[in-house]
Structure 1
Amino acid sequence: MIDPRAERAVYQQLADLLRGLIASGQVKPGALLPSSKTLEQTHGVSRETVRRALAVLRGEGLVVTEGGYGTRVVQQQTRQHVRVPRSAQIVCRMPTDAERVDLGIELGEVVPVVTIHVGAQTRGPYRADMFDFTTA
């Protein structure tokens, strides 16, 4: 239930609600989310609120929006684990154009990359949406 008087912004509440439907499996990978109009009417929110909520979910890599078609739930990738030495410096940044090509990051996709620096050695870049990092 969305509460316009709550401290949390309405668009964040809507994003939380949709995220929960995705996480619980009620909306399966590949399925379309309800239309923006349906979300507006169902939850009593504005078009801008729906747009902002969907932008949050796109930024998290949970959905993709196809112009004129709708917003679809993305099949989540299995995340790989990388062990990082305690003395390492971990840097998170946006990819260069060459890294986008090498890592298969589409133009317009917001996916940071991570590099690990241990002394003079550099490992990566890793797609931040596909890896978990833990200390050794």
Structure 2
Amino acid sequence: MWSRPISQPARKTLVASLRDALRQQIESGHFRIGERLPSEAQLTREHGVSRTVVREAVAALRADGLVEPRQGSGVYVLEPEAPVPAPFSDVDMDRLSSVIELLELRTAVEVEAAGLAAQRRSPSQEEYILECLRAVTLCNSAGRNSSEEDFALHLAIAEATNNPRFPEFLIMVGANSIPRRALDSQTQVPMAERYGEMINDEHDKIVTAILNGDEDAARAAMRTHLRGSQQRYRNLLRGTGG
């Protein structure tokens, strides 16, 4: 009796189902590390699928690093590879040297972001940048922890580049990269009034240049701001010997 071949979408569903079933058996320990999987013929019988489906499912497991075919012997379960840590997940913000490393990286990215924001910002983005500036200025003037508001301002500038990779980068680095946050956790020393005024002035120069559409001044102001933060942390590092 003639029968139609399995369609491509149907076969893909069968492959995915078998792949997931075998993965679950491997991860649960039903098939242990170094153990050989059942033969192609056994898997065909047990799961009611064709040899083609079995081969594709095994190939998918191999691509995921879960199994390894060995010539003339069969397919064996591999020890899972150690997961690759997410970017910046191993940064120790209690170490001043880690803060300096992130500030150097941020400088490389955010100086250009400020210049692009001066070129490309929209009226609504200008308005939001000003809102963020007012919020961080109020916090600094009151001597309160301004790390969240500071990060929001830098993120607003990154978003005003209208290149999504800039805000993605800042979000990936995270709010912990804001110097004030790290400094507070490191020293538990309240921010001096003079320091708050200095940061407010630096922020104001960055935002003014962006709103004026002055790319060069925006880059220069952002560079001064972030390099100043680097220097303050280097001075602290030398002073503490940490």
- Note the alpha carbon deviations across 1:7-63, whole angstroms, 9 max, x for none: 761011000000000111111110001000000011111010000000100010100
- Displacement of 1:76 in angstroms is 1.3
Contact 2:19/2:61 (<8 A) preserved = yes
Question: Which amino acid in structure 2 is aligned with residue 70 of structure 1?
Answer: G
Q: Return the TM-score normalized by structure 2.
A: 0.32
1:35 aligns with 2:47: no
Pick the aligned partner of 1:55 from 55, 59, 70.
Answer: 59
Check whether the contact 2:35–2:77 (CA below 8 A) recurs between aligned residues: yes
Gapped regions of structure 2 (runs ≥ 5)? 1-5, 90-104, 110-170, 174-242
Higher radius of gyration, 1 or 2: 2
Q: Does 1:18 align with 2:55?
A: no
**SS of match in other structure, 1:28:** coil
Length-normalised TM-score, structure 1: 0.56
Q: Specify which structure has the higher proportion of strand.
A: 1
**Between Structure 1 and Structure 2, how many residues are aligned?**
88
What do you get for the CA RMSD once the two structures are aligned?
2.9
| Deviation of 1:68 (Å) | 1.2
Find the aligned partners of 1:34 and 1:11 in 2 and give their Cα distance. Answer: 16
Distance 2:16 2:59 in 1: 10
Gaps of 5+ in 1: 86-116, 121-133
- Once the two structures are aligned, what percentage of the paired residues are identical? 33
Instruction: State the SS of the aligned residue for 2:87.
Output: strand
Structure-to-structure mapping, 1:1-136, within 5 angstroms: 9-84=13-88, 119=108, 135-136=172-173
TM superposition shift of 1:80: 4.4
Cα distance in 1 between the residues matched to 2:45 and 2:65 = 25
**Secondary structure in structure 2 of the residue aligned to 1:135:** helix
User: Greater helix share, 1 or 2?
Assistant: 2
Kindly report structure 1 stretches of 4+ aligned residues shifted beyond 3 Å: 82-85, 117-120
Q: Tell whether the 8 Å contact from 2:26 to 2:32 is kept in structure 1 after alignment.
A: yes
